[in-house]
Amino acid sequence: MPTPRHVMIYGPPAAGKFTVATRLGELYGLKVVDNHASVDPALRLFHFGTPEFAALVEEIRVALIRSAATAGVDIVSTLVYGHGEDEDHVARLVAATEIGGGVVKFVQLRPPDPVLEVRVTSESRVPTSKVSDVRTLRRMLAAWDLTTPINPDDLSIDNSDLSVDEVCRRIAEALDLDASTRPV
C-alpha cells in the first residue's frame, strides 16, 4: 500500500481553503476533511471558543485523520492556524497521520487582508457557520497571528488573483502529486 498523503491547507478565514481543498480532491484523488467537519458538530453542543468546544473539535479531527491514514486514504484537510496558539493542536494532527504511516505536507493560502474582507462576505458563506462578516474577521486578525506559517519552508500561495485550478496546479507541482497514480 502506498504511503497515505495528507495535504494540510491552512490560512485565515476566507482564504479559499475549502474551495482549493475540494478541487484538489477532485483532481488528485484526495478525500476532503475540512475544518467544519469537526467544528459544526461541536457547535451543536458547545459555544465557539470554549475549552469543551476546542477539545471536541480536536478529538473529531484526530479521529478522522487517524482513520484515514490507517486505512491508506489520501486526504486534504483545512485549518485556521494561529501561530503561538495552535502548535500542540497541529502536532496532534500530524501525529494522527504518522501513526497510520502517512506523511503531512503543509500549504498556506495567504491572500492580503483586503482580499479576505471582500471574500468573507460572499453569499456562499452565509448559510454556513463560517465567519461571514468583516468585523469578526478583523477581530480575529487582530487577536491572533494567522499569517505566520506553521513551518518556515511551507508552500505559501497568495491566491488573490489565481484561479482555483492554478492554485491546485502549483500545489500538485510543489508536493509532487500525480493524478494518474491514485483513484479519484
Share of the chain above pLDDT 70, in %: 92
One-letter amino acid of 48: F
Q: State the distance between the two ends of the chain, measured CA to CA, in whole angstroms.
A: 16
Is 184's pLDDT higher than 60?
no
One-letter amino acid of 33: V
Per-position DSSP letters for 162-181, written without gaps between them: --HHHHHHHHHHHHT--GGG
Q: What contacts 105, CB < 8 A, 6 or more positions away? A: 5, 6, 7, 8, 155, 175
What's the pLDDT score for residue 141? 84
The CA radius of gyration of the chain, in Å to the nearest whole number, is: 16
- pLDDT 10s digits, 55-88: 999 999 999 999 999 999 999 999 999 999 999 9
What's the pLDDT score for residue 27? 95
- Lowest-confidence pick of 27-31, 82-86, 136-140, 176-180: 176-180
**Domains of the chain with CATH codes:** 5-174 (3.40.50.300)
